[in-house]
Amino acid sequence: MTAAEPGELPEVIRLARDLIRIDTTNWGGGRSEGEREAAEFVGAYLEELGLETRYFEPIARRTNVSARVPGRDRSKPALVVHGHLDVVPAMVDDWSVDPFAGEIRDGYLWGRGAVDMKNMDAMILTSVADILRAGEQPERDLIVTFFADEENGGVEGSAL
């Protein structure tokens, strides 16, 4: 995914939209959808930036993904920048749009995760992309990680 051409949506919006379109509903109690697919989508994006990704799947399909961005001063402790890929269930009847369509209406991106947290995930990813595409390095290593099962306290994601 690259910077927008004239008339196209900015990359950060396209990325958030595409993440919203992956239904990662987490009902709790071990029931979820799409976390592996979302992690693989994020991993592919990071790999396109030249980063090596690592996947952690403590429970089948509850996938976490991580990459390390080398910093200029590797003697400094790394900074972890993280997000989560799961969302709480959407009560479809309460929505005026499909919660997993990633629709832009009235100048806003609508969908489950548009404000928690697929929007921020897209901002993290495109910020890393901006640094790397400019040929720059952060001061210290960045560990960029996206977790499964945050909406259920991480018991089947980062806590394992």
Residues designated as active site:
86, 150
As a whole number of Å, the CA-based R_g of the chain is: 16
Q: If you ran DSSP here, which 8-state letter would residue 44 be given?
A: H
Answer yes or no: are the C-beta atoms of 41 and 68 closer than 8 Å.
no
How deeply is 64 buried, as exposed, middle or buried, from its count of CB atoms within 10 A (0-12, 13-18, 19+)?
Answer: buried
Residue 97, CA atoms < 13 Å, CB-side half-sphere: 16
3-state DSSP assignment of residue 143: strand
Does residue 89 contact residue 27 with C-beta atoms inside 8 Å? Answer: yes
